Amino acid sequence: MAFVTYILLSTLLAGLRGAFQPELLGYTASTAFAIVIFEILGLKLGCYLLSISNESQLLDLVAYSGYKFVGIIISLTLSALFSGGEGSGGWAGWLVFAYTFFANAFFLVSSHNNT
């Protein structure tokens, strides 16, 4: 849900800025997918280096790495609302981003501490 929503929302914001192209959908999707795959590969590499055997946990890693899209969606929406559709910069955007960043980090650490 969040993955697809992120792609559609970023394209929608680009359209509100007047910079919409149909290629933007595929571009955003492939970029987000590549980031997720890169993150999972990094996690697997870390597990290999620390010799943690977690064969059955791969789907868990995929699921947990997708929760960040919720924070991305929230920060994109709120920053666009605060800045009036002019990009996602500005102090409000960075504030919301920092909050969702730390919330997601806390969520991931707490979840993985006690599984």
Partner 1 sequence: MAESLVSFLSTTFHSRRIVFQQLHLIRIAESAFQLSAFSSLLTCQDAATYLWAACSSPLASASSSSATTRFHCSTTTLTTSTSPSATASTKLWQSLSTASDPRSKWSESCFWRIRGIYERSNSSDGIPSWPNSTQAWTGVCGTKRQRFPISCDFAAEANVLQFNRYVNVSALKHYFNVSNAYVVNKLFLVLFPWRHKPWSRKQSVGPNGQEGWFLPPREDLNSPDMYIPGESR
* Total chain residues near partner 1 (CB under 8 A): 34
Q: By the 8 A CB rule, do 64 and 108 touch?
A: yes
Q: Is 90 one of the binding residues for partner 1 (CB under 8 A)?
A: no
Nearest-approach distance from CB 106 to partner 1, in angstroms: 5
| For helices 58-65 and 23-49, angle between their N-to-C axes, nearest 10 degrees | 130
Q: Residue 104: CB partners within 8 Å, gap ≥ 6?
A: 67, 68, 70, 71
Residue 106 interacting with partner 1 (CB under 8 A): yes
Closest CA to 69 of 77, 57, 59, 80: 77
Closest to partner 1 by CB, 38 vs 51, is 38
- Shortest reach from residue 105's CB to partner 1, in Å: 9
Place of tokens 């501490």: 113
Binding site for partner 1 (CB under 8 A): 1-4, 11, 15, 20, 22, 25, 33, 36, 56, 59-60, 62-67, 69-71, 74, 100, 103-104, 106-107, 110-111, 113-115
